[in-house]
């Protein structure tokens, strides 16, 4: 039973480029969460999605960031026109219906903006 | 919104001794409190959790206690081993909210 999958594991972008981060939840999980972790800091909530719906995006920056979880395929976190301050580890977590609070994390994508 | 504070930020204990990490939360509506262990460069791993209808939960060498009145909860690791060295994060949420609010982490080092 594969856990939460994320790719790529490492991503290098130059300022102004776009970054696309992908997350496939655990089998049977239909709830996806994205968190950001800056070096030596805790995890900060960004967005909570179910299939084809954004449930809570209160932690998402208003500009340049967007997320989706289509009916088919992985959830995608998109960062447009990246800046150096976007460099961080981005973790995806998933949970199953009825147990939304119990979240299991993927290995993360480490984004480095040059 | 919820605010979670975690102490200490670093903790060193001799192998075999116990380690205790404490967290406080601000939102009295919070009713679910997980603990995650994160090794360097790895994913946060859920190690134990507690719901507000119980005061204590134990799983082998790990236990968590919850004091709802004081709004704090603690992680206890007994008979510590070198593989317990990691960063530990507490978190809080409430059913229907789902987003986890994390503490700032405790770097635990087990001294052989």
pLDDT bucket at A97, cuts 50 / 70 / 90: confident
pLDDT at A14 over 80: yes
pLDDT bucket at A1, cuts 50 / 70 / 90: low
Asked if B40 reaches chain A (Cβ–Cβ under 8 Å), the answer is no
In A, which residues are within 8 Å of B103 by CB distance?
42
Asked if A64 reaches chain B (Cβ–Cβ under 8 Å), the answer is no
Mean per-residue pLDDT pooled into runs of 10, chain B (112 residues): 94 98 95 95 94 91 96 97 97 85 96 94
Q: B60-78 pLDDT, tens per residue?
A: 999 999 999 999 999 999 9
Q: Cα separations (Å) of B87 from A19, A108, B44, B105?
A: 28, 16, 9, 6
- Residue A28: the pLDDT is 87
In B, which residues are within 8 Å of A43 by CB distance?
44, 89, 100, 102
- Name residues 60-79 of chain B within 8 A of A (Cβ): none
pLDDT at A92 over 90: yes
Nearest CA to CA, how far is B81 from chain A (Å)?
Answer: 23
- Residue B98: the pLDDT is 78
Q: How far apart are CA A50 and CA A94, in angstroms?
A: 10
- For an interface test with B, give the residue of A42, A53, A96 to mutate (most B CBs within 10 A): A42
Q: A40-80 pLDDT, tens per residue?
A: 788 999 999 999 999 999 999 999 999 999 999 999 999 99
Return the residue of A nearest to B103 by Cα: A42
> Pick from A18, A13, A11, A2: which is nearest to A108 by CA?
A11
- Higher-confidence residue of A92 and B52: namely A92
């Amino acid at each position: 039973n594969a856990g939460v999958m994320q790719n790529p594991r490492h991503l290098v972008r130059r300022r102004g480029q776009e970054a696309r981060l992908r997350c496939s939840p655990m089998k049977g999980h239909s709830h996806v969460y994205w968190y950001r972790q800056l070096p030596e800091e805790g995890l900060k909530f960004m967005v909570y999605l179910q299939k084809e719906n954004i449930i809570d995006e209160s932690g998402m920056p208003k500009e340049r960031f967007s997320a989706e979880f289509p009916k088919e395929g992985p959830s995608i976190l998109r960062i447009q026109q990246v800046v150096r301050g976007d460099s961080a580890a981005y973790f995806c977590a998933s949970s199953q219906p009825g147990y939304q609070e119990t979240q299991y994390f993927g290995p993360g994508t480490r984004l480095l903006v040059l | 919104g919820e605010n979670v504070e975690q102490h200490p930020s670093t903790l060193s204990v001799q192998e075999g001794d116990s380690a205790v990490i404490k967290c406080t939360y601000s939102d009295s509506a919070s009713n679910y409190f997980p603990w995650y262990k994160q090794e360097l460069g790895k994913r946060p791993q859920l190690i134990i959790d507690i719901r507000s209808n119980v005061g204590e939960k134990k799983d082998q060498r790990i236990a968590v206690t919850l004091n709802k009145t004081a709004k704090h909860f603690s992680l206890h690791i007994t008979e510590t081993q070198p593989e317990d060295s990691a960063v530990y994060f507490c978190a809080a949420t409430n059913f229907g909210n789902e987003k986890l609010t994390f503490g700032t982490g405790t770097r635990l080092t087990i001294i052989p």
